């Protein structure tokens, strides 16, 4: 029996649902396994690389009852038929559809997170139930593909037969046939044009496994794919099998389907000994998503006036210790002046009486050291606005020192609205805001 997903917002704490109490220890262990085998990022965070305990959720006790608190990872966890959805902190309770719709838009621009579902959305499709939307999209795209363009492939097989086909496998023929007196049984290597090939086996395997994780209407879409692939063998597959597939130019449409299969196999962490296990999760760090989105929009739309260097690293000291890494380093192609841009995935708490304008003192110290090392007097902090909120006016702080002679450091902070009614309008809005704050 399916129930509505449980919603949790970043850094929010809630009691663990009673339906999970019996599996509480198992859920914690499962997330530890997921943490150890996560493969969606090209580069792991150095601060987290050595950690053996998962950082998706924090578990605790409140008056003897287990509680869970979300950290900075958003997405979903599906465990024993229950689904927990973790929303970005820019959204509120009951805004799952808008939250995951924007997450899909942002992931479309991410370079560090491999996510093949960026084009999932249509004008009317809802993504309030995020895992269900991913599976439904995969089922519909795949059924259309296997029905209209069935995939056949030449695959090499070794087979014993009474006549020569392909080429004689001499070592195998000597061992299997001549040594036993069956000289008439030829062992041949040949490459028939097969429908029962490795790619179709991967697709069928993924469909069968996902059919245990979705609702009846989505399961029917998956069963239509399985019906078309009825002649294909049921063989267990892993994400590594997807990397061995080489598509020729006549079947490039299957590349997207293969990416989705790789995603499900790499991120489902299914137990291959239990075909009915109902565990599945997808969690991404929002600070990486936000930084990648701002970086890619800047690279695409400001690459002419500026030389854009993402993740620009250097040493803070002459002894080459204490490394710094700027989210973005912009160099004006005409004047050569540099602007350090640092994305802060935080909601600035603007209070009328707060002279700091919601900027933490630690962040300001960090930006001053960046400016000194880069020998630039321009630093910009970018904060995201909450969903539906208008950005506040940019603020500026000046740092003057006798060591800098007549030059002062100008540190600016600006809010960026990264939400909108459509992806196109959202991106145009971000471009206009960035153009304004870059040129202040």
- pLDDT for the residue 122: 54
Highest mean pLDDT range out of 41-55, 74-88, 299-313? 299-313
3-state secondary structure 270-321: CCCCCCCCCEEEEEEEHHHHHHHHHHHHHHHHCCCCEEEEEEEEEECCCCCC
The mean pLDDT of 369-375, rounded to a whole number, is: 86
CA distance 261 to 204: 10
Q: Is 250 exposed, middle or buried (0-12, 13-18, 19+ CB in 10 A)?
A: exposed
pTM across the whole model: 0.77
Contact, 37 vs 31, CB < 8 A? Answer: no
CA distance 276 to 378: 57
Q: pLDDT, tens digit, for every residue of 247-295?
A: 888 888 898 899 889 888 876 544 344 444 567 778 889 999 999 999 9
Q: In the predicted model, is pLDDT for residue 219 greater than 50?
A: yes
Domain limits, the chain: 6-150+196-285, 156-191, 302-438
How many residues in total does the chain contain? 440
Q: Which two tokens stand for residue 381?
A: 């902090």
| Residues 6+ away with beta carbon under 8 Å from 198 | 153, 155, 241, 244, 245
CA distance 352 to 344: 21
Q: Which two tokens stand for residue 186?
A: 């030829």
The mean pLDDT of 314-330, rounded to a whole number, is: 85
Highest mean pLDDT range out of 123-137, 161-175, 202-216, 288-302? 288-302
The mean pLDDT of 232-241, rounded to a whole number, is: 89
CA distance 415 to 214: 39
Q: Is 173 helix (H, G, I), strand (E, B) or coil?
A: helix
- pLDDT for the residue 440: 55
Beta pairing, strands 82-87 & 6-9:
parallel
Contact, 294 vs 304, CB < 8 A? Answer: no
Q: How many CB atoms lie within 10 A of CB 393?
A: 7
- What percent of the chain clears pLDDT 90, i.e. is strictly above it? 25
Contact, 21 vs 59, CB < 8 A? Answer: no
For the chain, report the end-to-end CA distance as a whole number of angstroms. Answer: 56
Q: In the predicted model, is pLDDT for residue 46 greater than 70?
A: no
- pLDDT for the residue 274: 45
Enter the CATH code of domain 302-438: 3.90.1570
Backbone phi, then psi, for 89, in 5-degree steps? -70, -5
- What percent of the chain clears pLDDT 70, i.e. is strictly above it? 88
The mean pLDDT of 143-148, rounded to a whole number, is: 91
- pLDDT for the residue 381: 93
Q: pLDDT, tens digit, for every residue of 85-132?
A: 899 999 998 898 899 889 988 988 888 887 777 667 654 456 777 788
Q: How far is CA 356 from CA 176, 221, 346, 413, in A?
A: 82, 55, 15, 10
CA distance 131 to 32: 20
The mean pLDDT of 169-181, rounded to a whole number, is: 87
- pLDDT for the residue 271: 39
Contact, 105 vs 296, CB < 8 A? Answer: no
CA distance 169 to 158: 8
Q: pLDDT, tens digit, for every residue of 415-431?
A: 999 999 888 999 999 99
Q: In the predicted model, is pLDDT for residue 40 greater than 50?
A: no
At what angle are helices 130-148 and 198-210 packed, to 10 degrees? 150
Q: What is the DSSP string of 237-249?
A: --HHHHHT----G
- pLDDT for the residue 119: 66
Considering only 61-70, 78-87, 269-278, 400-409, which range has the smallest mean pLDDT? 269-278
> What is the band of 407 on the pLDDT scale with cuts at 50, 70, 90?
confident
What value, to the nearest 5°, has the Cα angle with vertex 145 and ends 268 and 197? 70
Q: In the predicted model, is pLDDT for residue 376 greater than 80?
A: yes
CA distance 368 to 400: 11
């Amino acid at each position: 029996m399916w129930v509505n997903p449980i919603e949790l917002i970043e850094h929010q704490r809630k009691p663990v649902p009673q339906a999970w109490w019996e599996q509480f220890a198992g859920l914690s262990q499962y997330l530890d396994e997921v943490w150890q085998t996560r493969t969606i990022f090209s580069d792991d965070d150095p601060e987290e690389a050595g950690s053996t305990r998962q950082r998706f959720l924090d578990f605790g006790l409140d008056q003897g009852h287990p509680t869970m608190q979300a950290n900075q990872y958003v997405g979903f966890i599906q465990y024993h038929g229950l689904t927990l959805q973790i929303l970005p902190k820019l959204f509120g309770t009951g805004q799952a559809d808008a939250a995951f719709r924007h997450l899909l838009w942002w992931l479309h621009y991410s370079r560090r997170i491999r996510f093949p579902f960026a084009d999932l959305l249509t004008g009317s499709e809802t993504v309030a139930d995020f895992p269900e939307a991913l599976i439904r999209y995969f089922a519909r795209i795949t059924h259309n593909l296997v029905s209209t363009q069935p995939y056949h492939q030449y695959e090499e097989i070794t087979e014993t037969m009474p006549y020569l086909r392909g080429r004689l496998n001499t070592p195998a023929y000597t061992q299997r046939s001549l040594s036993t007196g069956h000289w008439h049984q030829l062992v041949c290597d040949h490459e028939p044009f097969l429908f029962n090939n490795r790619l179709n086996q991967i697709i069928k395997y993924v469909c069968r496994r996902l059919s245990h994780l979705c609702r009846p209407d989505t399961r029917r879409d998956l069963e239509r794919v399985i019906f078309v692939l009825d002649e294909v063998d049921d063989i267990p597959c892993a994400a590594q099998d997807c990397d061995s597939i080489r598509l020729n130019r006549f079947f490039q449409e299957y590349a997207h389907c293969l990416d989705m299969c790789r995603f499900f196999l790499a991120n489902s962490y299914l137990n291959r000994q239990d075909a009915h296990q109902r565990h599945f999760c997808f969690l991404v760090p929002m600070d990486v998503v936000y930084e990648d989105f701002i970086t890619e929009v800047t690279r695409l739309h400001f690459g002419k006036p500026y030389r854009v260097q993402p993740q620009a690293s250097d040493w803070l000291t002459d002894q080459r210790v204490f490394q710094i890494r700027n989210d973005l380093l912009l160099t004006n192609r005409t004047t050569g002046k540099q602007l350090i841009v640092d994305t802060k995935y935080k909601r600035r708490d603007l209070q009328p009486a707060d002279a700091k304008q919601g900027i933490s003192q630690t962040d300001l110290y960090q930006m001053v050291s960046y400016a000194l090392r880069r020998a630039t007097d321009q630093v910009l902090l970018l904060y995201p606005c909450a969903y539906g909120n208008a950005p506040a006016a940019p603020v500026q702080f000046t740092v003057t020192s006798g060591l800098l002679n007549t030059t002062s450091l100008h540190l600016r902070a600006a809010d960026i609205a990264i939400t909108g009614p459509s992806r196109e309008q959202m991106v145009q809005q971000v471009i206009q805001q960035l153009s304004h704050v870059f040129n202040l």
